[in-house]
Amino acid sequence: MGSLWLGAFVGFLITLALGWLFPGLGHLIGGFIGGFAAGLIAGGGMGRGALAGFLAGIFGGIIIAILAFIGLVLVGGVAGGILGGLFGGLAGLAIGLIAIILAIFGAIASAIGGLIGGLLTRGRTH
């Protein structure tokens, strides 16, 4: 049985690369292909493959949320002092929440790819 977290990380990198190379539709296709790779690496059947694919898909939204929060706190703090940092943090929190909600759609495509990848590893012997 493969590593769940390694599969999720490799799937995330594939999703990131394809999304960067082909903006728009590349995010969904990259999510599916990244989830498929995550499911192949994670092994262990459909459930484990789907979980690895879902984790690969949701990583992008979480990272964007963290970067948006930190970036807007810094910009607000530089531009408006302590109060600007507070308002920047609130804006970053709102943008981060939107990014996580949108990442759920990519995570669904990744989970479907992971399910298929995990299904293919079911018959593999170790």
Query: DSSP assignment of 69-100, as one string?
Result: HHHHHHHHHHHHHHHHHHHHHHHHHHHHHHHH
Residue 33, domain member (yes or no): yes
pLDDT confidence of residue 34: 92
Residue 23 banded pLDDT, cuts 50, 70, 90: confident
pLDDT confidence of residue 20: 83
pLDDT confidence of residue 124: 58
Write the pLDDT tens digit of every residue in 91-117: 988 988 888 888 888 899 999 999 999
Whole-number Cα distances in Å, 93 to 70, 83, 100: 9, 15, 11
* Its pTM surpasses 0.85: no
Domain carrying residue 56: 4-121
Show the tokens assigned to 58.
């949701």
Residue 126, domain member (yes or no): no
Residue 89, domain member (yes or no): yes
Can you count the helices (H) and strands (E) in the chain? 3, 0
CA pair distance 73, 85, nearest whole angstrom:
5
CA 67 to chain centre: 14
pLDDT confidence of residue 82: 87
pLDDT confidence of residue 126: 54
**How many domains is the chain built from?**
1
